[in-house]
Chain A
Amino acid sequence: MRKPKPISAYPGFSQVTWLCMALLYAPILVVAVYSFNAIRSITTWGGFSLAWYAKAFANPHIQAATLNSLVVAVAASVAATVIATAAALALARGRGFRGRGGVFVLINLPLMIPEIVTAVAMLIFFLAIGFQLGLLTVVIAHTVFCVPFAYLPIAARLSGIETFYEDAAQDLYADRWRSFRFVLLPMMMPGIFAGLMLAFIISLDDFIITNMVTGPGTTTLPLAIYGMVRVGFSPEINAISTVMLLVSVFFVSLSYLVGRRRA
């Protein structure tokens, strides 16, 4: 059999690639570059300055939104990671129980349901049970949709750990809890950490669900940015967006690197 030609050898390949890259990343690049613009314009360059960063950091509205975002992201990602870890353990290590496949689908369903549907459903649910909308409802909603994101790296990690390590721990006088605590959990840690990072970023970035289930006066960073854009554009928004971009890239890279690490 002939070896297939490398895809880069086909005519037009590099042109199409560059076009896609440009469409994807040029706007982001523009946002980042103009966040350092000295003048209030997003079309003409007036020299380098960090003024918009200073202004954004000093804005009390943005400060409050950032704090809310961090509180929600930390709480939701930790809760989602705990739930995802328990689910992964039950599915991979628990004795075979009826409806395993069903549980797996349920855990990952939030990935497939359109977000707006989840958002509406949650809003109706909270209203129906008379739950006061606010930071807590946002945390609960974020926890729910973060579970599958935390679950994937944890389950992948766990499925790569042979059961003989737990057998060895129990053979060496550890009861089930201690074999989990001292052997399985440390071995799962890279997966758990990767899941936590991923859930954190997904939560930090969410707009649709947050917008729907948040209460009056409670804003997160994406909501604050959206609100500012509607009022009128300012390079301040570029600055916040660039910081968010960097934070995301940092955590996703960390998640990837740690998740990939062997034992």
Chain B
Amino acid sequence: MESAQKNPAVEIRAVSKQFGRGAEQVKALDGVTLTIGDNEFFTLLGPSGCGKTTLLRMIAGFEQPDDGGIFLFGEDIKGLPPHKRPVNTVFQHYALFPHMTVAENVAFSLRMLGRAPGEIERTIGEMLALVKMEQFAARKPAQLSGGQQQRIALARALAPRPRVLLLDEPLSALDLKLRQAMRAELKAMRQRTGITFVFVTHDQEEALTMSDRIAVMSGGRVRQTGAPRDIYEKPCDSFVANFIGESNFLTVTVERLEQDAAWCRLDGALLQCSCAGEAAAGFDARVSIRPEQVSFSADGGGGPALSGVVENLSYLGTDTQLSVRLGDGQMLQARVQNAGRERPPPGPGQRIRLRVNPGAARLLAD
């Protein structure tokens, strides 16, 4: 009963924002609508310049929407200045105050909120323990490594216990190993604190591994919202399919439509596809097929399959990727695992038979 009335943490309704005038005008956000649930790890994913930071700054209160509304736990926060919103940000460049020690940085918000000195001391201790930085309390930010600064920025933003934490590409300045370690830590931190995280990134792997839900953005619009698995396996259009992971884009002819499946003909073989939008039988359409959903056999045993000639072979460590030219001239990338395979993969010039896992082909809306 209670959960039915519970308001979402953040609700963004038809928000638009333009920067500049005349010839230099940029539409940073174009009718964005999103609902971010309480306790969610929500990621805004998209290429550079798609409006992620602008949207985040709007939730924090640094930008005002030209149009639309922003609601925090059901309350309209339009016009509320940043210092009156129960929302904190981990900035892309951390923005730690260089003239303050680590402890003073963490204490800043509590001092501004007029908390009692005892409580401030206790919170500093708790927050530094949370990010495992207790022994650095007296240092200045300039005396910390990038990863350590990142932790302090996180501790500082969490100290006043915000209802929503905004993170703008907080891992982008770290090296690969540290970035991977921080992913798991951030996810664990979200669960431990019970605070809603809104995370911005242009790194699809980061988004897939950390998020409860992802909104894929491009050109100031939200293209698709969903769980990582849905976004990856059921992309709605070619932008999403292309931006997240690798995909084959092939032209097929739709033969027959069922409830939510479509049978499409590709180079003589009939594929079972899932549908992203409306499709009409008898017309050509585009499908997206993930390379790992294609399996092959040299002899061609077992049911209807595609056939093609291997043109290229790349060894990728865990996998081998084959570029195969189909009978109708279209190229198909297939990826097979190297582990546990008895026979060596086929070489260039060899004719092989391919099979696409049922339902793995996605009929795209565009």
Binary B-proximity of A156-175 (CB < 8 A = 1, otherwise 0): 00000010110111111111
CA distance A107 to B98 in the complex (A): 30
Q: Closest CB-CB distance, A262 to chain B, in whole Å?
A: 8
Cβ–Cβ contact B62 & A167, under 8 A: yes
Cβ–Cβ contact A173 & B160, under 8 A: yes
Interface SS of chain B:
mixed
Cβ–Cβ contact B60 & A171, under 8 A: yes
Q: Closest CB-CB distance, A188 to chain B, in whole Å?
A: 10
Cβ–Cβ contact B62 & A172, under 8 A: no
Given contacts A173-B112, A173-B113, A173-B160, A168 and B95 within 8 Å (CB-CB): yes
Given contacts A164-B91, A164-B95, A165-B97, A171 and B82 within 8 Å (CB-CB): yes
Q: Closest CB-CB distance, A191 to chain B, in whole Å?
A: 13
Residue A186 at the chain B interface, CB threshold 8 Å:
yes
Which residues of A lie under 8 Å from residue B98 when comparing CB positions?
187, 262-263
Cβ–Cβ contact B97 & A170, under 8 A: no
Residue A31 at the chain B interface, CB threshold 8 Å:
no
CA distance A138 to B283 in the complex (A): 89
Cβ–Cβ contact A172 & B93, under 8 A: no
Cβ–Cβ contact B83 & A171, under 8 A: yes
- Residue of B83, B87, B99, B142 near A186 (CB, 8 A) is B99
Shortest Cβ distance from B62 into A: residue: A167
Residue B196 at the chain A interface, CB threshold 8 Å:
no
Cβ–Cβ contact A165 & B160, under 8 A: no
Given contacts A173-B160, A178-B112, A263-B142, A168 and B83 within 8 Å (CB-CB): no
Residue B17 at the chain A interface, CB threshold 8 Å:
no
Q: Closest CB-CB distance, B61 to chain A, in whole Å?
A: 8
Residue A183 at the chain B interface, CB threshold 8 Å:
yes
Which residues of B lie under 8 Å from residue A263 when comparing CB positions?
98-99, 142
CA distance A182 to B91 in the complex (A): 19
Shortest Cβ distance from B156 into A: residue: A172
Q: Closest CB-CB distance, A96 to chain B, in whole Å?
A: 12
Cβ–Cβ contact B99 & A172, under 8 A: no
CA distance A170 to B93 in the complex (A): 16
Residue B108 at the chain A interface, CB threshold 8 Å:
yes
Chain B contributes a number of interface residues (CB within 8 A of A) equal to 24
CA distance A173 to B113 in the complex (A): 7
Which residues of B lie under 8 Å from residue A167 when comparing CB positions?
62, 82, 89, 91, 95
Cβ–Cβ contact A172 & B91, under 8 A: no
Residues 174 to 226 of chain A near chain B (Cβ within 8 Å): 174-175, 178-179, 182-183, 186-187
CA distance A162 to B99 in the complex (A): 14
Shortest Cβ distance from A182 into B: residue: B108
CA distance A261 to B99 in the complex (A): 12
Q: Closest CB-CB distance, A185 to chain B, in whole Å?
A: 10
Q: Closest CB-CB distance, A172 to chain B, in whole Å?
A: 4
Q: Closest CB-CB distance, B157 to chain A, in whole Å?
A: 8
- Residue of B89, B112, B142, B157 near A174 (CB, 8 A) is B112
Chain A contributes a number of interface residues (CB within 8 A of B) equal to 20
Q: Closest CB-CB distance, A132 to chain B, in whole Å?
A: 44
Residues 79 to 126 of chain B near chain A (Cβ within 8 Å): 81-83, 87-89, 91, 93, 95-99, 108-109, 112-113
Which residues of B lie under 8 Å from residue A179 when comparing CB positions?
83
CA distance A186 to B99 in the complex (A): 7
Q: Closest CB-CB distance, B273 to chain A, in whole Å?
A: 46
CA distance A172 to B111 in the complex (A): 10
Cβ–Cβ contact A172 & B109, under 8 A: yes
Residues 86 to 141 of chain A near chain B (Cβ within 8 Å): none
CA distance A173 to B61 in the complex (A): 12
Which residues of A lie under 8 Å from residue B62 when comparing CB positions?
167, 170-171
CA distance A175 to B97 in the complex (A): 16
Cβ–Cβ contact B160 & A172, under 8 A: yes
CA distance A182 to B105 in the complex (A): 11
Binary A-proximity of B320-360 (CB < 8 A = 1, otherwise 0): 00000000000000000000000000000000000000000
Cβ–Cβ contact B99 & A168, under 8 A: no
Q: Closest CB-CB distance, A68 to chain B, in whole Å?
A: 37
- Residue of B61, B87, B108 near A169 (CB, 8 A) is B108
Residues 142 to 178 of chain B near chain A (Cβ within 8 Å): 142, 156-157, 160
Cβ–Cβ contact A172 & B88, under 8 A: yes
CA distance A178 to B83 in the complex (A): 11
Cβ–Cβ contact A175 & B91, under 8 A: no
CA distance A59 to B62 in the complex (A): 62
CA distance A186 to B142 in the complex (A): 16
Residues 244 to 263 of chain A near chain B (Cβ within 8 Å): 262-263
Cβ–Cβ contact A174 & B95, under 8 A: no
Cβ–Cβ contact A173 & B93, under 8 A: no
Cβ–Cβ contact B99 & A171, under 8 A: no
Cβ–Cβ contact A168 & B160, under 8 A: no
Q: Closest CB-CB distance, B92 to chain A, in whole Å?
A: 8
- List residues of B whose CB falls within 8 A of some A CB: 60-62, 81-83, 87-89, 91, 93, 95-99, 108-109, 112-113, 142, 156-157, 160
| A-B CB proximity, top 9 nearest | A263-B98, A172-B109, A168-B95, A173-B112, A170-B82, A164-B95, A186-B99, A174-B112, A173-B83
Can you name 8 extra interface pairs (CB under 8 A) apart from A170-B62, A178-B112?
Answer: A165-B97, A171-B88, A172-B109, A172-B156, A173-B109, A173-B160, A174-B83, A182-B108
